[in-house]
Structure 1
């Protein structure tokens, strides 16, 4: 996979400031399909526990989810990789497809606000 596969294209909204409030607002505006899961995870992991210890892991997960979902082409690519891996009868091929999806997830988590 080339690094360019995860770089945003023109028309892809920029990443928000790296905080839960800004991330939630960006999700609500540009990837509302993620909002119910985001809110449920927030409630379960942070709000109901009054514990901010899990906040870095929470932000890492949802930062990556939003970075993918905000880009329709990248989101479709990830869906295709997962679908092809699930349908594959060749273990090596399925593993390669999932490794490519993992590389994309690691790449997008490095995306900075404004990118």
Structure 2
């Protein structure tokens, strides 16, 4: 999806793929995520002597921000997850969770500027 398409829908583009740019985007467009982002950063990355956890950290928060920046996708995922939690039929609950996961994976594939 192009940046113009995102802008037309009011969805901000993805930042550069680095922790500083991602944090700035979260602070500006999805501040509800900021406390958890900072807590996770301080706990797992800030004082680490090994940078091995950074790719996993970025993958998680890239996906969280990609979802949170688009209220429609975020609402859909949360609705699916809520419905799954209330669904007595295992197969139906599983299908709802799988659909929520598919959306999460799809939005996490966006590139900087998209």
TM-score between the two structures when normalised by the length of structure 1: 0.90
Which residue is equivalent to 2:100?
101
TM-score (normalised: structure 2): 0.91
The RMSD of aligned alpha carbons is 1.3
Offset at residue 48 of structure 1 (A): 2.8
5+ residue gaps in structure 1?
1-6
| Corresponding position: 1:12 with 2:31 | no
Question: Whose RCO is larger (CA < 8 A, sep 6+)?
Answer: 1
- Tell me by how many angstroms 1:89 deviates: 0.3
CA offset digits 1:19-62 (Å, max 9, x no partner) = 00000000000000000000010111101323211000000000
Give 1:50-89 correspondences, 5 Å limit. 50-89=49-88
Structure 2 unaligned residues grouped into runs of 5+: none
Q: Over residues 55-104 of structure 1, what are the superposed CA-to-partner deviations in whole Å (9 max), with x where a residue is unaligned?
A: 00000000000000000111110110110000000000100000001111
- Conserved? CA contact 2:77–2:104, under 8 Å: no
Distance 1:13 1:102 in 2: 22
Partner Cα separation in structure 2 for residue 60 and residue 73 of structure 1:
21
Question: What is residue 91 of structure 1 aligned with on the other side?
Answer: 90
